[in-house]
Amino acid sequence: MVVILIACSTLSLFAEREPFSPEAIRFFENEIRPLLRNKCADCHNNQLLTSGLSVESRETILRGGNRGEAVSLGLPEESRLVHAIRRQGELKMPPGEPLSPPEVSALVRWIEMRLPWPARLPAGNIPDRSSMHWSFQPIERPAEPKVSDPLWVRNPIDSFILARLDRQGLQPTPEAEKATLIRRVYIDLISLLPKPEEVEAFVGDIRPDAYERVVDHLLESPHYGERWGRHWLDLARYADSNGYNADGERKIWMYRDWVIRALNRDLPFNQFVIEQIAGDLLPNATEDQIVATGFHRNTMLNLEGGIDFEQYRVEAVVDRVNTTGVVFLGLTLGCARCHDHKYDPVSQREFYEFFAFFNSIDELSGEFNNDEGRARASEPVLEFGTPEQYARREALRAQLEVMQEELKTYEEGLLAKQAQWEACLSDDDLVKLSPSQRAILEIPTEDRHEEQRKSLRRGYFNQDVGHQERRKAVAAVQKLEPEIPSTLVMREFPEPRPTHVLLGGEFLNKGVRVWPGTPAVLPELPAKERYTRLDLARWLVDEKNPLTPRVTVSRVWQRYFGRGIVETENDFGTQGLPPSHPELLDWLASEFVSRDWSLKAIHRLIVTSATYRQSSKYRPDTAKKDPRNRLLARQNRLRVESEIVRDLALSASNMLVPEIGGPSVFPPQPAGIMIRETSFARAGESRWPKSEGKDRYRRGMYTHFWRTSPHPALMVFDSPNSLTSATSRNRSNTPLQALTLLNDAGFHEFAQGLAQRILRERPNGTNSERVEHLFRVCLTRTAQQVEKERLERLLETQLDDFRTNPSEAEEILSLPTPVGVDRPEAAAWTMVASVVLNLDEFITRE
């Protein structure tokens, strides 16, 4: 109601009609209108609305701009417009040549006269910013097109693809070989290698739906949630640390696990979105739904000394706007932070209306620029303790309070004796003080600064045995506090924090006040008195919103073919590229919504299509007409993502510990990575407590992600930096990748594991049979004769060499080998296994 009331009252204000004399109107027409048109309206018109101000009508002038009121009726001296044209304040208008003194006087007089303007029909309240741009138009379900070869078509996707190929005179490629296909779909759906027996069973299965059976099996695998969860975590900028300098650890892995579980149970995507944006605001929200709101707590948190927390809270809120814009709407809303969007129909004011949805979280802000704020910096969190843990914590905290009180009293007693202590310091005592503390002793007590007093007091206390004991006791009790599992979540203030346009995007430079709202170019929010995040969440997945389904299916497509149907996957606005297959995009989007937003349904559609199942072999004949293979006359070869490079090697070596979820882990990394990179308090290698036992062999997605110094094996293979949302990954191909696969301690272990596996599974095999098995395990295919010969040659020379130099075999084998295994043989096979793990084909989805 409030909004409507305000709207009514503003309307009545705007509708105010004053009886202007004909002379006043003439004055306006002769002196003012040309001035406004020539000097102001180039920027301040209803279309551009620069700084939120338009001079196209009396109403819009009275409405003001982002800085607030532009004109005070009858009071030129109090009008911002007059200050600006007189160039009195920070704002100087128009830019460039100032107005002439007669022009200034005319405007002053006009304001004194209360803005005479000829009567006409009141202008519309909201400027017309609608756009004919394709992505803002409603989704219409296109009919399946006719194609040249209906037999090739397995589902409607193929009709759209083939129709386009027909137009270009291109033929699709036949289906990939079965062994390739099963490796492909395993990698795409669960990112683990199929076991040789699974490959064999599939290749031998002549039932017409053999492939679909594999797909259904994989979609039910709990590893599906890991694979597609990691894609989602890229968008969510998930990390295990706060970022910025201090880059302290944060606990939000429960959110990561929520994503995995939600995908595994195929939570409808609209619900998936609502829970992440506003699960905490749902009626009777479950703990699970609150955990989901970790999505927007993945923003960075700056705890550097000497800063204003408010500045970084605002940065976090801006990041939430940008992320929401790019993840769901495919729009670069961030461009409108400092000024109106240059290309897309989003104004700066609309940016801050969107901002208002995320501006009322009960989190670290400028009101807590102190130690108290620092102490509760992670808030809000959701805890998962047992009643016993809470009780114990409470008891310990009470005990601690008493102890600290006692310590304080003790210190007061000590302080009374400080002068005496200073007076009779022995040489031994002096040695225990630092040079600067000794220097402070020279300064008369009353001349010492606070910092100097504190420093000396510290030196004094440190020498007192009673004080030492008490401090130790306090520290011991502090250590006893049980570690209660928790995760970062959203919690709304009961009363929203007021939101203002931030001029130039600066957190201190507040402009006009705004309320939560969505950009005018997109479908309206249902009328309501006050909008919350929950309204935004529901609006994002409202049937009338064409962007969310289009963006989502295009991104799913992107993971299977290397590029989205809209190739500029982070920009569906006017600066982005149009879709390669517009009808396919809309068909998939409408299919997605009509199948109750089931992601698994879309996955099944895509991976069972003939388009997906094509061979990826390079075709010189199509390269001329479609060099970038946008039309998909074949599949694309894709180097797998950083985590998957690791997962495939783990999977090949059979060393994988397939546990799902839990706190992040610390697999080995090269020395020197964590050197003094970040935190003051906990710098250094202690921040990488190298995992032992099973946690050394978890999937790549569970590797602890320090934002300022992520695991190098991840970054070398283009993991996103998790500072902001990542809608796609680079696929670089660099020497550092080669060095990682060749020399990294982790991959060296996997090569040993793989060698042992081969020897274990083919105990009496010939070299040739073992090489054959190695190929089946890693590449799911049979080895060509030349390949076999090449690896056998390597094996033989290496084996000879290791037999001559058994000590080198011992050096290479950092892992124990089972009893009975010939050490030089294990070493030689490690070399052969590592060759296969280094092949381009191994880290590629064919």
Contacts of another protein in 615-634 (CB under 8 A): 616-620, 623, 628
Using rule CB under 8 A, residue 721 touches another protein = yes
Using rule CB under 8 A, residue 637 touches another protein = yes
Q: How far apart are the first and last CA of the chain?
A: 58
Q: Residues 416, 465, 786, 819: which binds another protein (CB under 8 A)?
A: 786
CB of 614 to another protein, least distance (A): 13
d(CA 622, CA 638): 18
Contacts of another protein in 218-247 (CB under 8 A): 243-245, 247
Structure tokens at 531: 């909008």
Q: Residues 542, 724, 761, 762: which binds another protein (CB under 8 A)?
A: 724
Question: H/E/C letters for each residue in 785-796?
Answer: HHHHHHHHHHHH
Using rule CB under 8 A, residue 835 touches another protein = yes
CB 212 within 8 A of CB 609: no
Using rule CB under 8 A, residue 815 touches another protein = no
661: Cβ contacts below 8 Å, ≥ 6 apart: 253, 256, 257, 260
Contacts 24+ apart (CB under 8 A), 93-101: 93/40, 94/39, 94/40, 99/35, 99/39
Interaction pattern, residues 340-369, with another protein; x per rule: CB under 8 A: --xxx-------------------------
- Count of residues engaged in binding another protein, rule: CB under 8 A: 113
Q: Which stretch binds another protein (CB under 8 A): 105-113, 144-152, 210-218, 575-583?
A: 575-583
d(CA 831, CA 654): 17
Using rule CB under 8 A, residue 184 touches another protein = no
Nearest CB to another protein, comparing residues 593 and 826: 826
Question: H/E/C letters for each residue in 527-570?
Answer: CCCCCCHHHHHHHHCCCCCCHHHHHHHHHHHHHHHCCCCCCCCC
Q: Is the dihedral of CA 315, 321, 322, 328 positive or negative?
A: positive
Nearest CB to another protein, comparing residues 172 and 824: 824
Measured in whole angstroms, how far is the alpha carbon of residue 616 from the centre of its chain?
31
Report which DSSP code applies to 97.
S
Q: For residue 693, count CB atoms less than 10 angstroms from its CB and return exposed for 0-12, middle for 13-18, buried for 19 or more.
A: exposed
Q: Which stretch binds another protein (CB under 8 A): 105-113, 380-388, 534-542, 715-723?
A: 715-723
CB neighbours of residue 281 within 10 Å = 20
Using rule CB under 8 A, residue 742 touches another protein = yes
Nearest CB to another protein, comparing residues 95 and 620: 620
Nearest CB to another protein, comparing residues 112 and 626: 626
d(CA 227, CA 185): 12
Contacts of another protein in 668-687 (CB under 8 A): 669-673, 675-680, 683
Nearest CB to another protein, comparing residues 528 and 617: 617
Using rule CB under 8 A, residue 798 touches another protein = yes
Q: Which stretch binds another protein (CB under 8 A): 374-382, 467-475, 516-524, 727-735?
A: 727-735
Contacts of another protein in 543-572 (CB under 8 A): 563, 567-571
Measured in whole angstroms, how far is the alpha carbon of residue 63 from the centre of its chain?
38
CB of 568 to another protein, least distance (A): 6
Using rule CB under 8 A, residue 723 touches another protein = yes
Q: For residue 98, count CB atoms less than 10 angstroms from its CB and return exposed for 0-12, middle for 13-18, buried for 19 or more.
A: middle
Which residue reads 């979280």 in tokens? 361
Using rule CB under 8 A, residue 804 touches another protein = no
The count of C-alpha atoms lying within 13 angstroms of the C-alpha of 757, restricted to the half-sphere facing its C-beta, is: 26
CB of 831 to another protein, least distance (A): 6
Q: Helix, strand or coil for residue 522?
A: coil
CB 40 within 8 A of CB 55: yes
d(CA 105, CA 108): 5
Q: Is the dihedral of CA 796, 802, 803, 805 positive or negative?
A: positive
Report which DSSP code applies to 513.
E
Q: Which stretch binds another protein (CB under 8 A): 72-80, 124-132, 185-193, 782-790?
A: 782-790
Using rule CB under 8 A, residue 739 touches another protein = yes
Nearest CB to another protein, comparing residues 223 and 776: 776
Interaction pattern, residues 314-343, with another protein; x per rule: CB under 8 A: -x----------x-----x-xx------xx
Contacts of another protein in 432-461 (CB under 8 A): 434, 436-437, 439-440, 449-452, 455
Q: Residues 66, 378, 728, 756: which binds another protein (CB under 8 A)?
A: 728
Using rule CB under 8 A, residue 782 touches another protein = no
CB of 648 to another protein, least distance (A): 15
Using rule CB under 8 A, residue 790 touches another protein = yes
